[in-house]
């Protein structure tokens, strides 16, 4: 799912002329690419993090049933660098936060259209350690944690759901009848008098 979301994010941002390519990584980025000299956005599916979780559904009155849901975790890294001469840290972070706004707006629309639910976690500038000993990247790395809520639907392996049973008017699979008794005589609730008329 996150790979597909990353591809959609790239398409949306490109259409808005955001000059940051989007990449997807399963697990941490290779050290050789971590400090590559280019601005970019990387969607990372964490490995060895166990950030996913599980929750019961609040309502299950639909077909297929949705008795529970899984909440899958991921994070976005924005590599931003203001190339103006003499640019300082606050210039880099403002550029990263500008990209952040575009990323959040795009992901809200992408995930909602699936339809799933996205929730945002901690976000901010981070320091990354390069195992290969390369020098620190001369910009800002801004990280956004988020989760996507996915329904666990009662379906077969092939994706089919149980047939929907119709209740109500013609032609009903489960017929329903309603009887009302009307009378002017007083009496206890739920006990119609003997002269009550059925309608």
Q: What average pLDDT does range 5-21 have in this prediction?
A: 96
Least-confidence region, from 11-15, 30-34, 47-51: 30-34
Partner residues linked to 119 by β-bridges: 147
Domain with 59, as residue range(s), is 2-152
Residue 131 pLDDT more than 50?
no
Higher pLDDT, 189 or 5: 5
pLDDT of residue 147: 95
pLDDT bucket at 87, cuts 50 / 70 / 90: confident
Task: Give the residue-averaged pLDDT of 161-181.
Answer: 65
Residue 193 has, within 13 A of its CA and on its CB side, a CA count of 8
Residue with the bigger pLDDT between 70 and 110: it is 110
Average pLDDT over every residue of 119-139: 75
Considering only CA atoms, which of 196, 194, 174 is closest in space to residue 184? 196
For the cut 50, the answer to whether the pLDDT of residue 170 exceeds it is yes
- What per-residue confidence (pLDDT) applies to 128? 73
Distance CA 199, CA 195 (A): 13
Of 151 and 18, which is predicted with more confidence? 18
Confidence of residue 173 (pLDDT cuts 50, 70, 90): low
171 part of a folded domain: no
The whole-chain average pLDDT of the chain stands at 82
Q: Is 177 a domain residue?
A: no
pLDDT number for residue 59: 62
Domain harbouring 118, CATH code? 3.30.70
- How many independent structural domains does the chain possess? 1
* Segment 5-34 mean pLDDT: 89
Say if 64 falls within a structural domain.
yes
Task: Answer whether residue 18 shows pLDDT above 90.
Answer: yes
């Amino acid at each position: 799912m996150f790979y597909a979301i990353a591809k959609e994010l790239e398409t949306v941002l490109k259409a808005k002329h955001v000059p940051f390519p989007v990449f997807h990584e399963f697990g941490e980025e290779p050290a050789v690419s971590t400090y590559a000299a280019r601005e970019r956005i990387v969607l990372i599916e964490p490995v060895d993090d166990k950030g996913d979780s599980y929750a019961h559904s609040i309502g299950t009155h639909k077909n297929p049933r949705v008795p529970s849901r899984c909440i899958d975790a991921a994070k976005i890294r924005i590599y931003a660098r203001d190339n103006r001469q003499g640019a300082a840290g606050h210039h880099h972070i403002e550029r990263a936060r500008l990209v952040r706004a575009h990323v959040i707006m795009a992901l809200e629309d992408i995930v909602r259209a699936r339809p799933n639910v996205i929730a945002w976690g901690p976000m901010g500038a981070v320091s990354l350690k390069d195992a290969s000993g390369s020098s620190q990247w001369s910009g800002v790395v801004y990280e956004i944690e988020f989760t996507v809520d996915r329904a666990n639907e009662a379906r077969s392996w092939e994706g089919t759901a149980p047939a929907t049973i119709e209740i109500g008017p013609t032609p009903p699979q489960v017929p329903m009848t309603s009887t009302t008794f009307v009378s002017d005589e007083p009496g206890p609730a739920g006990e119609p008098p003997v002269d009550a008329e059925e309608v």
